[in-house]
């Protein structure tokens, strides 16, 4: 990457992967999800580069990933599991229990938070999970600090035989920094499971004992964090300053740059907290004691603030000094400081947004570039068919690229992974109870189905529900960056695994009506959907499943070779904009001057699907010979 061998500019997630390998980790598992997805590919790249014998696994979901890493740690190895913050919800059952039972080899739970949120359902703060489960949390501020912290986290994890939560925010995960690399520690750890049923198979009676031990471990960990000067330290010894700020994560770095920029470094002392749970409370109380007022700037929620017992001098979210939602970007922290310093009479910071510019730009009425399915995406074709075949249906959907079926009016609900099916069965029962059956079409991607579709589908079949399930199988986990699935049977490091076709799973769930289709064949798909609908209504009917299979156009561009249908727009186009507004292919745009639709040849992949869309039949295949 650069000519300086041991200094590289790395993405935060890449630095985290590097740190995990440098700490001598043996087993790394993950399920992709923004902002965590880059950790696993980076771990694979580094293990190949350094010739390390590390087991890397894309697991089918976060709970499965967690348990596989946990087993390695119970057998004495070092493990890491990486996921996005809502993934930890899926793995929460394992987390809560394993906090009591602990680990033998070190275990790092990397849970990447997404304040903003940029690409998530919630802004939840993973550090709360640390409090909830009673495991320690590390909260790095920079990629370089993350790498160093990971080594300490493994040491702590093994010293106290406890899993450790490591919480980067998106700005660290997707931030870049020049970092110094070290060679990896090589730790010999043959797997050795020591049987101990009172611990590894603990019944409730033993659980009370384990909880007692856990509380004692936490007390000792807190003492270690109190003494620690690497992650919890004061910045600026301004004995004159009577104001303090306690901060952590990326907010610490933003604050540092701001105080430098505003030349206010000598007006305030900072206590930087890198281990928010258990909070080094004495250190915090001592810091607060030496100041008149102390502001707590932490992302995303009140983890540090709520652990402070005497809040009489403390300002933060509880006092309305910090926003309760949204990301703490530099201008937000600037506003927070302006209020804080203003109230305390230290500095009068002008909040000088360029309103005039904002208004001028607003007046331009620029088009909002909302995310959209790619040109030629087979999911767009499938959604189009669904909308046409069953326009009155309730459309339950799920998490992935296909969430963008929203833009085509073919997605009504997105809750969490798996809910595409469970909401369909739930809606069915709610309406059926009133003897008012309505058509319901659930959509779910292949990776989501492997993640959490089967238990939902088994439940729906078992309880006699009726709806149509369209599995959008693009043969990859596309949204998060093309991770392989069990459907194609390639594992995290590119070696061959075993394929598990969706058909076998669906049949195994008890489905009796199953059809496959290429969604590019829009007419056929519409008639298949109608057939499926008839099945859900028939006397012996049930759930109808359609597997709409065509590889992602970005991942498998070669799949179209030889099947291209080049289209053109004829003079029959009356400029109604229907194709642009309702089909929303990026390759179709409106020529305002000539008031008609046009094809952007740079983006068009010649899938030919839009031929089905125009009511005027103005989108037609190019007649190559006639030209």
CB 280 within 8 A of CB 258: no
Point out which residues bind another protein (CB under 8 A): 1-4, 7-9, 11, 34-35, 37-38, 118-119, 141-142, 171-172, 174-178, 250, 252-254, 256-258, 261, 329-331, 334, 352-354, 356-358, 360-361, 364, 366-367, 369-374, 401, 404, 479-481, 586, 602
Cα distance between residue 402 and residue 404, in whole Å: 5
- When the beta carbons of 314 and 373 are compared against another protein, the nearer one is 373
Structure tokens at 221: 């960990």
Distance between the two ends of the chain, CA-based, in angstroms? 49
For the bound state, the minimum distance from the C-beta of residue 479 to another protein, rounded and expressed in Å, comes to: 7
Q: Where are the alpha helices (DSSP H) in 23-166?
A: 39-50, 62-74, 87-90, 92-101, 126-133, 143-159
SS3 of residue 584 by DSSP: coil
Find the helix or strand (DSSP H, E) in which 596 lies. Answer: strand 596-599
For the bound state, the minimum distance from the C-beta of residue 22 to another protein, rounded and expressed in Å, comes to: 20
Structure tokens at 292: 């008149």
For the bound state, the minimum distance from the C-beta of residue 356 to another protein, rounded and expressed in Å, comes to: 6
- When the beta carbons of 330 and 541 are compared against another protein, the nearer one is 330
C-alpha radius of gyration, the chain, whole number: 28
For the bound state, the minimum distance from the C-beta of residue 272 to another protein, rounded and expressed in Å, comes to: 11
**DSSP 8-state code for residue 581:** I
Q: Smallest Cα–Cα separation from 36: which of 75, 78, 90?
A: 90
- When the beta carbons of 14 and 156 are compared against another protein, the nearer one is 14
- When the beta carbons of 533 and 550 are compared against another protein, the nearer one is 550
- When the beta carbons of 330 and 497 are compared against another protein, the nearer one is 330
For the bound state, the minimum distance from the C-beta of residue 201 to another protein, rounded and expressed in Å, comes to: 40
- When the beta carbons of 482 and 488 are compared against another protein, the nearer one is 482
For the bound state, the minimum distance from the C-beta of residue 88 to another protein, rounded and expressed in Å, comes to: 18
For the bound state, the minimum distance from the C-beta of residue 330 to another protein, rounded and expressed in Å, comes to: 3
For the bound state, the minimum distance from the C-beta of residue 112 to another protein, rounded and expressed in Å, comes to: 11
SS3 of residue 291 by DSSP: coil
Q: How many CB atoms lie within 10 A of CB 71?
A: 16
For the bound state, the minimum distance from the C-beta of residue 361 to another protein, rounded and expressed in Å, comes to: 5
SS3 of residue 169 by DSSP: strand
- When the beta carbons of 28 and 585 are compared against another protein, the nearer one is 585
- When the beta carbons of 35 and 105 are compared against another protein, the nearer one is 35
For the bound state, the minimum distance from the C-beta of residue 251 to another protein, rounded and expressed in Å, comes to: 9
Please list the residues that pair with 293 across neighbouring strands. 243
Q: Where are the alpha helices (DSSP H) in 298-443?
A: 303-307, 330-343, 355-363, 378-389, 419-432
- When the beta carbons of 129 and 334 are compared against another protein, the nearer one is 334
What residues have CB less than 8 Å from 384, skipping those under 6 apart? 408, 410, 522, 583, 609, 612, 613
- When the beta carbons of 27 and 375 are compared against another protein, the nearer one is 375
- When the beta carbons of 75 and 410 are compared against another protein, the nearer one is 410
- When the beta carbons of 52 and 554 are compared against another protein, the nearer one is 554
Cα distance between residue 16 and residue 82, in whole Å: 10
Q: Where are the alpha helices (DSSP H) in 228-325?
A: 249-261, 281-289, 303-307
> 222 burial class (0-12, 13-18, 19+ CB within 10 angstroms)?
middle
Q: How far is CA 270 from CA 87, 237, 244, 265, 292, in A?
A: 33, 9, 6, 9, 13
For the bound state, the minimum distance from the C-beta of residue 279 to another protein, rounded and expressed in Å, comes to: 23
For the bound state, the minimum distance from the C-beta of residue 503 to another protein, rounded and expressed in Å, comes to: 28
SS3 of residue 444 by DSSP: strand
Assign 3-class secondary structure to 242-258: CEEEEECHHHHHHHHHH
Q: Smallest Cα–Cα separation from 545: which of 466, 486, 451?
A: 466
Please list the residues that pair with 276 across neighbouring strands. none
Q: How far is CA 275 from CA 123, 216, 622, in A?
A: 20, 18, 64
Structure tokens at 132: 């909830």
Structure tokens at 46: 């580094």
Q: How many CB atoms lie within 10 A of CB 307?
A: 15
Cα distance between residue 104 and residue 288, in whole Å: 37
For the bound state, the minimum distance from the C-beta of residue 350 to another protein, rounded and expressed in Å, comes to: 11
- When the beta carbons of 171 and 387 are compared against another protein, the nearer one is 171
- When the beta carbons of 331 and 594 are compared against another protein, the nearer one is 331
For the bound state, the minimum distance from the C-beta of residue 564 to another protein, rounded and expressed in Å, comes to: 20
């Amino acid at each position: 990457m650069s000519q300086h061998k041991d200094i590289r500019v790395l993405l935060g997630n890449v630095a985290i992967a590097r740190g995990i390998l440098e700490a001598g980790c043996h087993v790394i598992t993950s399920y992709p999800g923004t902002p965590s997805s880059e950790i696993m590919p980076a771990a694979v790249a580094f293990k190949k580069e350094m010739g390390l014998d590390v087991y890397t696994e894309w697991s089918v979901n976060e709970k499965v990933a967690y348990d596989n890493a946990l087993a390695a740690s119970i057998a004495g190895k070092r493990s890491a599991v990486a996921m996005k913050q809502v993934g930890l919800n899926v793995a929460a059952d394992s987390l809560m229990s394993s906090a009591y039972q602990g680990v033998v080899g070190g275990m790092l739970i990397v849970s990447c938070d997404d304040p903003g949120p940029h690409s998530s359902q919630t802004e939840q703060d993973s550090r709360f999970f640390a409090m909830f489960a009673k495991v320690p949390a590390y909260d790095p501020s920079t990629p370089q600090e993350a790498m160093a912290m990971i080594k300490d986290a493994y040491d702590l994890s093994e010293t106290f035989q406890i899993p450790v939560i490591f919480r980067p925010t998106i700005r660290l995960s997707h931030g870049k920094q020049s970092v110094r690399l070290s060679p990896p520690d090589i730790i010999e750890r043959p797997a050795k499971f020591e049987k101990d049923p009172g611990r590894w198979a603990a019944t409730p009676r033993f659980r009370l004992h384990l909880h007692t031990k856990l509380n004692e471990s936490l007390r000792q960990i807190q003492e270690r964090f109190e003494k620690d000067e690497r992650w919890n330290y004061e910045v600026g010894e301004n004995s004159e300053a009577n104001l303090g700020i306690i901060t952590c994560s990326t907010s610490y770095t933003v604050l540092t740059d701001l105080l430098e920029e505003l030349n206010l470094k000598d007006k305030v002392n900072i206590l930087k907290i890198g281990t928010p749970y258990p909070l080094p409370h004495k250190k915090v109380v001592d810091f607060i004691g030496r100041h008149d007022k102390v502001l707590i700037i932490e992302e995303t929620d009140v983890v540090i603030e709520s652990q402070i017992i005497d809040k009489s001098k403390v300002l933060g979210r509880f006092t309305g000094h910090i926003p309760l939602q949204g990301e703490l970007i530099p201008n937000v922290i600037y506003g927070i400081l302006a209020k804080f310093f203003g109230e305390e009479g230290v500095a009068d910071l002008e909040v000088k947004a360029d309103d005039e510019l904002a208004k001028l730009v607003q007046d331009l009425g620029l088009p909002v570039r909302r995310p959209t399915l790619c040109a030629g995406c087979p999911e767009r074709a499938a959604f189009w068919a669904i909308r046409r075949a069953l326009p009155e249906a309730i459309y339950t959907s799920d998490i992935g690229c296909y969430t963008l079926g929203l833009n085509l009016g073919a997605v009504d609900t997105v809750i969490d992974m798996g809910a595409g099916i469970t909401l369909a069965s739930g809606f069915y029962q709610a309406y059926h109870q009133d003897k008012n059956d309505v058509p319901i079409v659930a959509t779910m991607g292949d990776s989501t189905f492997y993640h959490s579709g089967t238990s939902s589908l088994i439940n729906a079949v078992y309880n006699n529900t009726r709806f149509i399930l369209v599995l959008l199988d693009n043969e990859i986990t596309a949204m998060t960056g093309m991770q392989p699935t069990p459907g194609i049977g390639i594992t995290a490091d590119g070696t061959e695994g075993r394929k598990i076709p969706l058909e076998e799973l669906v049949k195994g769930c008890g489905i009796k009506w199953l059809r496959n289709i290429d969604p590019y064949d829009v007419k056929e798909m519409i008639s298949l959907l109608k057939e499926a609908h008839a099945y859900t209504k028939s006397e012996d009917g049930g759930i109808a499943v359609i597997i709409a299979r065509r590889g992602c156009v970005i991942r498998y561009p070669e799949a179209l070779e030889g099947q291209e249908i080049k289209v053109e727009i004829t003079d029959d186009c009356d400029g109604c904009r229907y194709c642009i507004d309702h089909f929303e292919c990026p390759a179709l745009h409106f020529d305002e001057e000539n008031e008609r639709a046009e094809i952007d040849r740079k983006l068009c992949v010649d899938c030919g699907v839009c031929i089905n869309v125009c009511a005027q039949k103005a989108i037609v295949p190019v007649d190559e010979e006639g030209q």
